[in-house]
Amino acid sequence: MSDVIAVTSGKGGAGKSTICACLGYALAKQGARTLIIELDFGMRCMDLMLGIDGKIEHDLGDVLKGEIDAYKAAIDVKLATNLSVLCAPSDPYIQIKVKDIEKILDDMRKYFEYILIDTSVGINGPIFDVVANSDLILLVSSIEPTSVRDARMMSDEFYKRGTKKQRLIINKASRKVFDNDGLDDLDMIIDSVGVQLIGVVPEDPAIPMSTGKGIALGSNTDGFAAFSNIARRIKGASMPIAAKV
Ligand SMILES: Nc1ncnc2c1ncn2[C@@H]1O[C@H](COP(=O)(O)OP(=O)(O)OP(=O)(O)O)[C@@H](O)[C@H]1O
Ligand SMILES: [Mg+2]
């Protein structure tokens, strides 16, 4: 049975979709059958990021309407064996119920080791409930103070709901953070958000270059190293958090 991992943030643009695409790629490259489900309705981007633009025959909207089984609607991503995606409905106004999404997640658990959920921001609404009920929440914050503060608001909400497992990803970190004199900055962010750190992703131009073109992230890039480490940590390995890049 798989783990459902929700990727979320308080502030928009923190890097949720990028992290879903690159972490999904890293998990799949390490041999884990991985599915990305895009729950950002009307704002589909995963097809572009994963190089399957124009190849989407069915999406989550069709599954929610009962037109097709979720497993059949998921598309194999050519970038990596083991990676599949179920894209967001193109209709931003589609009405969804938490129980329908959770039924889809439960149905898909038997096929995949990891199910990554990409989300939109927002503390109200059914997607927030789906995130709160997932097995692991990856809360993404950039190093900007506004992003850190909004991440804290989210983590407080999750704690209020009794969510036990949330982990922080600090995204778009500057190179300084990976040197010793930047570790205080990391500590400050972790203390402000109040969530245990699972990884630090550097600001790396190779990342938007790969997601913008739908091509694989080069294995010699700083970004790839960071996502590979987070993937290993999710699988239970003990890895350095802010490995030198
Ligand atoms: N580590 C990184 N290095 C460089 N650029 C990055 C990194 N992470 C994300 N970006 C860039 O930041 C921008 C926002 O990223 P992304 O779309 O993944 O954020 P998001 O949280 O999904 O946004 P939204 O809230 O709109 O869904 C994109 O242009 C993306 O390429
Ligand atoms: Mg997004």
DSSP per-residue string spanning 101-122: HHHHHHHHHTT-SEEEEEE-S-
Work out the mean pLDDT of the chain and round it to a whole number. 91
Domain ranges in the chain? 3-234
Average pLDDT over residues 149-175: 93
Those residues with Cβ within 8 angstroms of residue 18's Cβ, 6 or more apart along the chain or in another chain: 49, 171, 207, 208, 211
Report the C-alpha gap between 116 and 126 in whole angstroms: 17
Is it the case that residue 12 has pLDDT exceeding 80? yes
Report the C-alpha gap between 127 and 118 in whole angstroms: 10
pLDDT at 183: 67
Report the C-alpha gap between 83 and 74 in whole angstroms: 10
Say how many C-beta atoms besides its own lie within 10 A of residue 155's C-beta.
21
Give domain 3-234's CATH architecture.
3-Layer(aba) Sandwich (3.40)
Q: What letter does residue 123 receive in the DSSP assignment?
A: S
Say how many C-beta atoms besides its own lie within 10 A of residue 167's C-beta.
17
Can you tell me which atom of ligand 1 is nearest the CA of 173?
1
> Among 70-79, 179-188, 225-234, which stretch is predicted with the lowest mean pLDDT?
179-188
Q: Measured in angstroms, how far is the CA atom of residue 178 from the centroid of ligand 1?
A: 20
Predicted confidence (pLDDT) per residue in 210-223, tens digit: 999 999 999 999 99
pLDDT at 172: 96
Is it the case that residue 117 has pLDDT exceeding 60? yes
Report the C-alpha gap between 81 and 132 in whole angstroms: 30
Q: Whose CA is nearest to atom 3 of ligand 1?
A: 203
Q: Measured in angstroms, how far is the CA atom of residue 73 from the centroid of ligand 1?
A: 26
The residue that leads in pLDDT, 177 or 200, is: 200
pLDDT at 91: 80
**Confidence category of residue 180, pLDDT binned at 50, 70, 90:** low
> Among 69-78, 79-88, 184-193, which stretch is predicted with the lowest mean pLDDT?
184-193
Q: Measured in angstroms, how far is the CA atom of residue 13 from the centroid of ligand 2?
A: 7
The residue that leads in pLDDT, 176 or 127, is: 127
Q: What share of the chain is helix, strand, coil (3-state, %, to 5)?
A: 40, 20, 40
Predicted confidence (pLDDT) per residue in 141-150, tens digit: 999 999 999 9
Report the C-alpha gap between 156 and 195 in whole angstroms: 10
